[in-house]
């Protein structure tokens, strides 16, 4: 993949933010909450015959578009705060300030979470486009005598997974921003 559009480092960085603060190790409950639970719900919705209407697809596209713009603004705020915290940490008298180190880590985590959410928002828009385009394509499985639509088999679960993952990540961003703003020094 072209290095200019390779997002693997953003995804890895986001996954590294899902750690237990007390042990500094990957939190398995976070992995279940952010990845496994949305995947299970998405697969179940696909089997239950959930259908996304054009209105819902339009709503999801608007949601993805708006949040991409809003998250870009928040990313600028985080970038500004990183500069200020780094400046304070480089000052000799604040070298061992635990609160500043925690803020620095939190800002780094926020950077990855926000970047990941922006990528998810864009991915949601693309998935909705393909879902609306693929509603007409149907797979016929021989010997089973059933027809499966590509949109229900692939795009519907992907849209549900991405939407749930995006909502949960946005909640985490809000909580981390709240902590950052109430712990002002």
Taking only the tens of pLDDT, the chain with its 185 residues reads 688 888 999 999 999 999 987 788 999 999 999 999 999 999 998 888 788 888 999 999 999 999 899 999 999 988 988 888 888 777 766 656 777 788 888 999 999 999 999 999 999 999 999 888 876 555 555 665 555 667 777 899 999 999 999 999 999 999 999 988 887 65
Instruction: Quote the CA–CA distance of 59 and 61 in Å, as a whole number.
Output: 5
Asked if 155 and 131 touch (Cβ cutoff 8 Å), the reply is yes
Domain for residue 174, yes or no? yes
Domain for residue 6, yes or no? no
Domain for residue 122, yes or no? yes
Instruction: Quote the CA–CA distance of 52 and 114 in Å, as a whole number.
Output: 27
Domain for residue 1, yes or no? no
- The residue segments making up the domain with residue 39 are 11-50+60-182
At 21 the pLDDT is 78
Asked if 135 and 177 touch (Cβ cutoff 8 Å), the reply is no
Residue 175: strand, helix, or coil: helix
Domain for residue 5, yes or no? no
Domain for residue 105, yes or no? yes
Domain for residue 175, yes or no? yes
- Indicate the number of domains in the chain: 1
Domain for residue 124, yes or no? yes
Q: Which residue has the tokens 């949040």?
A: 67
């Amino acid at each position: 993949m072209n290095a200019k559009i390779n997002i693997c480092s953003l995804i890895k960085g986001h996954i590294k933010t899902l750690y237990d603060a007390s042990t500094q190790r990957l939190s398995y409950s976070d992995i279940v909450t952010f990845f496994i639970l949305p995947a299970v719900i998405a697969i179940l919705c696909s089997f239950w015959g959930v259908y996304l209407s054009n209105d819902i697809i339009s709503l999801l596209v608007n949601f993805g578009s708006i949040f991409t713009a809003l998250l870009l603004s928040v990313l600028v705020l985080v970038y500004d705060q990183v500069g200020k915290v780094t400046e304070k940490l480089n000052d000799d008298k604040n070298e061992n300030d635990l609160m500043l180190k925690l803020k620095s880590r939190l800002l780094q985590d926020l950077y990855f979470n926000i970047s990941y959410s922006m990528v998810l928002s864009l991915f949601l828009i693309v998935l909705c486009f393909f879902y609306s385009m693929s509603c007409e394509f149907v797979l016929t499985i021989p010997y089973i005598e059933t027809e499966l639509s590509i949109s229900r088999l692939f795009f519907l679960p992907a849209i549900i997974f991405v939407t749930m993952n995006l909502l949960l990540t946005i909640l985490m961003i809000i909580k981390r921003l709240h902590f950052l703003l109430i712990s002002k020094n």
